[in-house]
A and B are shown apart, each in its own frame.
Chain A
Amino acid sequence: MRAFVTGGSGFLGRYIVKRLLDRGDDVTVLARQSSDTAALEAAGVKIVRGDLASLDSLGDFLDGQDVVYHAGARVVSYGDWQEFHDANVAATQKLIDMALKVGVRRFVYVSSLGIFDIPEAGVTITENSDYDHQPTLRGHYTRSKIHADRIACEAARSGKPVVVVRPGRIYGHDHPSLPLFMGRVKKKLFGNTWVVVSRPGYFVPIAFVENAADAVVRAGIKEGADGKIFNVIDDSDLTQKEYFAALDRVEKRHGRGLRILYLPVGLFIPAVIAAAWAFRILKRRKWAVAHQLRRSGRNAFYSTDAVRSELGWEPQVGLEDAVELTLAGVR
């Protein structure tokens, strides 16, 4: 099959490309002028040079492709809304329109699990759960992923050959900033003692990069998956306690263990509420940090029944092996 991958030189994208090559697919990657694509080219991948924010100048580059995997996005934490809109929202719409026009067999959009509303602790999140009710308080990246998800889901729900895959926090040794998930707010105190702002019983919505890439590729090739939406994390029941225990076991094999001190977000809530009020009075708008902190203080269970039953997906790499691989890669 002929596969086109945006973001193919990025973190998740490289693993998607690798799986496709292993399958024997003929792979083309959209990469920016500045991206280093030597390894991809050496592996036989064709490169289309271009930027998501200026797709119009690229012509009909999707002609003849069978499956498009749209895994590219502006993921940096700086820049104004327009830049995020152009690269993440407008580009998604253009790619879907273009792909449907040239008649690709399937379009897979890689979304994010961070788009959901968590109204209260203990909610179960499914593929049909609400987006965050206050997207403008979630930062440009998440807001743009919500907008793009809407566009992709409109196409999927209205019968187009579009599939949406929403992985949780992806980890792996070559992650551009934080290879290993260490909790949302964390601080290395001394030695191997970490302070994690969370509770031991809270779920950890993470996916090892190879497992996430597996789900994305399955979404591209599985018969009858058109119009489906899949939330993807490795283990819905994985708690912070279990996760850090696994980390501890791996670290111990290499010498020293790990100590975690949990600080519940609840402790900070009165201060956050006070600061949010002060911010609101002084700046005359809502304080985004307060919204995000309160959201992260709520435990959410992410169901992955759909991806397991409909794509036949199971994480191929287990938690301890994934952590071991990640740490080995970093060392």
Chain B
Amino acid sequence: MANQEKPLKVGIVGCGVIAETHLGYIRKAGAQLVGVVDLSAARANEFADKYGIQRAYTSVESLLEVERPDAVHILTPPHTHADAAVAALERGVHTLVEKPLATEMVDVERMRKAAAAGGAILTVDHNRLFDPPMLEARRVFAEGELGDIVAVESFQAGEASRRAWLSRLPGGGLGDLIPHPLYLQLAFTGPVGALEAYALERRGSNEPEELRVMMRGEHCTGSLTISMNASPPLNTLKLYGTKMTVEVNLNNMTIVKRREFNLPKVVAKPMPNLDESRQLISQTVTSTLNFLTGKVRYYPGMGELIRRFYAAIRGEGEAPVSVVDAAEVVRVTTAIWERIGAANGKRPVRAVG
């Protein structure tokens, strides 16, 4: 059995806010955390204090050379992912990178080559793909229950995080918010052939807070909306198929399927409403119970993704997210910033209508 093998030796690179969540899932997966890295020794030490971690380093190379981990989680600011990941991949160390994989395609290419040279798995934390309702949506799509897919819509309302490195991120606040809705969408549209993007600033800032992207994918069309003003926060994904419409709500962790009922008209009319209510109520009860009993934690998709990443390292299954899919997200993001005038790493200073 896999559990009886020697535990995987894992390192964390970057002791910022998301490191704690990774740490919880690393330990839950039965891996051994051999060390953490942060450019700031004080931050690495404080993280170590808090979680009883023994070894802390200020350089990735030191961690890699001294601890010889099997895998690392790169949790540094996005523009620094590539250097850290390449150092690990070249040494044959399997690498999970926080989203987005990179901010520029040249960096993606460097990582891809290093992974090939080192014979190591490279994957990215597109965690929401593995949240329970998303797994169900992907199953419905893959197994044809949806019929043919016609269109996909993703919507994300919320504030951008206030990270110190946001000013280094192409797209600024939008750049922070775009990865989740975009990779969710691309999982259904397939590779994007053409896109149009519109951005708008509303609050007198010189940075767009509203973004809408229309795209033509290999399988269907897609539309993506990000709003920093709409409230309350909401993350949804809608799939339109020829047999069914699916709405995933990632705030509430629900999936509602709307299908046709072959019944006399007087009964068929209220049926979809009743059916949707039933789905919402039963899933709300189940997910509340799961959360209260500790069966599900925050970021459940991350736990599943990490489990699959480690399984892939042991030769059981594929990497949870392929480099091709991860690269497509970076490529489309870059194309969107070009569309709205935020190319070359500059933030979009002017909305293009």
Q: Which residues of A contact B (CB under 8 A)?
A: 85, 89-90, 93, 130-131, 133-136, 143, 146-147, 150-151, 153-154, 157-159
Contact = CB atoms under 8 A, between A and B. Distances in A.
Given A131-B54, A158-B66, A150 B61 contact: no
B79 interface: no
Interface stretch (B40-48, B107-115, B165-173, B345-353): B40-48
Contact of A89 (B41, B55, B57, B59): B41
B62 A154 contact: yes
B143 interface: no
B65 A134 contact: no
Nearest to B52: A133
B62 A143 contact: no
B48 A143 contact: no
A93 B48 CA distance: 17
A154 B49 contact: no
Contacts of B50: 136
Contacts of A135: 48-49
B235 interface: no
A154 B65 contact: no
B58 interface: yes
A131 B44 CA distance: 14
A90 B41 CA distance: 9
12 contacts: A85-B42, A90-B42, A131-B54, A136-B49, A147-B42, A150-B44, A154-B56, A154-B57, A154-B58, A154-B62, A158-B59, A158-B62
Interface string B250-275: 00000000000000000000000000
Contacts of A154: 55-58, 62, 66
Contact of B65 (A143, A146, A158): A158
Nearest to A138: B49
B52 A150 contact: no
Interface in B204-261: none
Contacts of B45: 89, 146-147, 150
A320 to B, nearest CB: 38
Given A143-B49, A147-B41, A158-B57, 9 more contacts: A135-B48, A136-B49, A147-B42, A150-B48, A151-B41, A153-B55, A154-B62, A157-B62, A158-B65
For the complex of A and B, list the 7 residue pairs with the smallest distance between their C-beta atoms, beginning with the closest: A133-B52, A158-B62, A147-B45, A157-B66, A135-B49, A154-B57, A150-B56
A90 B58 CA distance: 13
A134 B53 CA distance: 10
Given A136-B49, A143-B49, A93 B41 contact: yes
Nearest to A153: B55
Chain B interface mostly helix, strand, loop or mixed? helix
Contacts of B54: 130-131
Nearest to A135: B49
Interface of B: 41-42, 44-45, 48-50, 52, 54-59, 61-62, 65-66
A159 B59 CA distance: 13
A175 to B, nearest CB: 29
Nearest to A154: B57
Nearest to B57: A154
Question: Which residue, of A90, A146, A153, A158, has the highest number of chain B Cβ atoms within 10 A?
Answer: A158
A140 to B, nearest CB: 12
Contacts of B42: 85, 89-90, 147
Nearest to B46: A147
Question: Which residue, of B45, B52, B57, B59, has the highest number of chain A Cβ atoms within 10 A?
Answer: B45
B55 to A, nearest CB: 7
A158 B61 contact: yes
A90 to B, nearest CB: 8
Nearest to A158: B62
A131 B57 CA distance: 15
Contacts of B62: 154, 157-158
B131 to A, nearest CB: 33
A151 B56 CA distance: 8
Nearest to B64: A158
A157 B35 CA distance: 13
Contacts of A159: 65
Nearest to A136: B49
A73 to B, nearest CB: 16
A215 to B, nearest CB: 24
Contacts of A157: 62, 66
B36 to A, nearest CB: 10
A85 B55 CA distance: 18
A153 B67 CA distance: 12
A113 B50 CA distance: 21
Contacts of B41: 89, 93, 147, 150-151
Nearest to B44: A150
Contacts of A90: 42
A154 B44 CA distance: 12
A118 to B, nearest CB: 14
A154 B59 CA distance: 9
B67 to A, nearest CB: 9
Nearest to B48: A150
A97 B18 CA distance: 29
A223 to B, nearest CB: 23
A134 B52 contact: yes
Nearest to B65: A158
A153 to B, nearest CB: 8
Contacts of B61: 158
A205 to B, nearest CB: 20
Nearest to A160: B62
A157 B59 CA distance: 12
A137 B44 CA distance: 18
Contacts of B44: 150
